[in-house]
Amino acid sequence: SPTYRPGVTWTALDPCLPPYVIEGLREALPLLDRKVRGFACPDAVLTGVETRSSSPVRILRGADGMSALRGLYPCGEGAGYAGGIMSAAADGIRTAEQIALSALP
């Protein structure tokens, strides 16, 4: 039984995801089950809660990538600069580059 508090809607993933994702899950879950026994048991529930929305707030940052609180580099989805895992990763790389450049003499 799902314990996710807002509730769940039971559905097959096939109509929701592209075929290559479904194929990847079908291949990956048994492999993961070999490493974590019981992970892919027949009565397991896969709960997906990620959305395509970003944070409702944005922590402002300057041209140097830093916020008004010096030393704090807001980045990624939680800071309001990304809307998904790929854009969050790209923003994290940009932020890491800015931090590295700031450390140069």
For 58-70, give one letter per residue: b (16+ CB within 10 A) or e.
ebebeeebbeeee
| Residue where a domain stops, chosen among 9, 28, 49 | 49
The one-letter amino acid at 84: G
**Are residues 61 and 45 part of one domain?**
no
Place of tokens 């923003």: 91
pLDDT digits (tens), the chain, 105 positions:
787 777 788 888 888 888 998 999 889 989 988 988 887 887 777 777 555 566 778 899 999 999 999 899 999 988 888 888 888 999 999 999 999 998 887
Closest CA to 77 of 94, 54, 46, 48: 54
Based on the domain organization, do 44 and 58 belong to the same domain? Answer: no
Examine the domain organization and report whether 15 and 62 are in the same domain: no
Structurally, the chain folds into a number of domains equal to 2
Choosing from 12, 29, 49, the residue where a domain stops is 49
Same-domain pairing of 42 and 77: no
Statement to judge: residues 6 and 31 lie in one domain: yes
pLDDT of residue 98: 93
- The pTM for the full model equals 0.48
Structural domain containing residue 11: 1-49
What's the angle, vertex CA 34, arms to CA 36 and CA 24, rounded to 5? 100
Quote the pLDDT of residue 59: 92
> 104 and 67 in one domain?
yes
Q: Are residues 24 and 65 in the same domain?
A: no
> Residue 82: its pLDDT value, please?
87
